[in-house]
Chain A
């Protein structure tokens, strides 16, 4: 029997991330195809209860220590590398999220094994694996074959439905001793919470979201007028926040918020995977972007390949007409 397929379970602030279940669903398929066991690996403090909810895995290895209470890449990668060296899994799936991102880079470096990054699907092919990955900000898809195993695979959110990764079965749960480094040069002192007081974009039914294509803060009025007409608020992609056009509380995506409004209008947003992750579950997505090949049109329901600065004023007039 080939070595196990591992899923690194992601816990943060006392709960398991949804993406953990997505990875379990993917890992289950790989393990079944190669006749291997599926093992979830969980680092945390007081996490026995969480371990038992990972029933799609054949076995859950958990290391319980105050040192693992918070996800710190330097700490987790050392512990996981030591555990992997002992247990010899062949495939290690790590979620690409802000919680686990440092692990995606550090774990293969420590183990001296290949990384397959930005992966959206993995299939067992013969004795090996073939991964489908999104590169160049979602502009290209590659099929990639790791030349050796073990291999660490960074998996994008949304690779499988989280529901497919849940099970009522109780897995075999095994406490393991993973070394918690005394010092690793990096210490988490605490968390800074986002500033309150601004609009909560996760509670809005309509979001008009702006990206780099807005070109400048001076054009924000257009988005605000449209949002107001539609009874919603303005949100943003990362570049618009980085340029200081909107506060971080309005950011949609990996470092920002996950939103599920009834309507999401994406203005001048290219649709990089980090942004799409935050808005793909909106009920209706209308995207406006000058580039007809922009990845945002892969998730939008309706697309308009026009310059937003020319199109939005016309749309505002039409909406006003409609409402009167």
Chain B
């Protein structure tokens, strides 16, 4: 079975985000990028399926700072090939990057056709497009998102569970090939020792393929700022003891203590 995993890097929101001088994008000065968490789950699910059914896992990602580390880590975890799509400007929108990556897939030797394409069902920077649906549409494949369980049955049929509200999950049957937007894998992403990643950096290769961005941006961001809210929380400051006393007062005042 051939599985393709699409990954992308997103800003690490644990770090402080700053607006750039243009007032409409993120400052790149201290920006730390990390793998989109749900994409990492998609990779894990692909590796689980490989262990269960054999086959290969190829990872494709648009070029970005730190992406090499993520791709070498993917090799160390068990991916067979990793490919980087170059030619995209930094800070390009999700839709343009996705369309570029999808178009570049056909220039990766021996990649298409695949049985499954897995990617995260959402990313925090998906302002103008979602990776899974865009790729599915471009390749003419069916799509299901918010998937938390996926397996492949003999005869080329996929089975997956998709989350609906209130803890309800829909059970789906999928004709393969298909694109699946992963929310969570069956298990948390596997740990791989740093020595193994270093070994992958020495012995592994990141293939590169040049993408041609389609150009036109359908959505123009005119301003970016930290959200202004009508009423922010009243912050309780002081020593831990004082804060705890104040919280108790508040709860007691509402009859909650």
Contacts and interface: CB of A to CB of B under 8 A. Distances in A.
A-B interaction: yes
B221 interface: yes
B223 interface: yes
Interface residues of A, number: 96
A94 B254 CA distance: 38
A117 B127 CA distance: 5
Q: Give the interface residue-count category, chain B.
A: 35 or more
Interface stretch (B1-9, B66-74, B197-205, B234-242): B234-242
Contacts of B153: none
Contact of A139 (B13, B130, B171, B174): B13
B22 interface: no
Interface stretch (A1-9, A97-105, A165-173): A97-105
Contacts of A69: none
B217 A147 contact: yes
B229 A256 contact: no
Given A192-B168, A263-B251, A116 B128 contact: yes
Contacts of A263: 251, 254, 256
Interface string A174-190: 00000000011111111
A178 B234 CA distance: 51
Interface stretch (A27-35, A36-44, A47-55, A307-315): A307-315
B145 A102 contact: yes
B52 interface: no
B209 interface: no
A258 B226 CA distance: 26
Contacts of B128: 114-117, 144
Contact of A256 (B137, B167, B233, B251): B167
B167 A106 contact: no
B234 A302 contact: yes
10 contacts: A105-B134, A115-B130, A139-B226, A140-B224, A140-B226, A141-B227, A144-B127, A287-B233, A293-B16, A304-B236
Interface of A: 12, 70, 73-74, 97-99, 101-102, 104-106, 108-110, 113-118, 130, 133-148, 183-194, 206, 230, 242-244, 248-249, 251, 254-258, 262-263, 270, 272, 283-287, 291-293, 295, 297-306, 310-311, 314-315, 317-319, 321-323
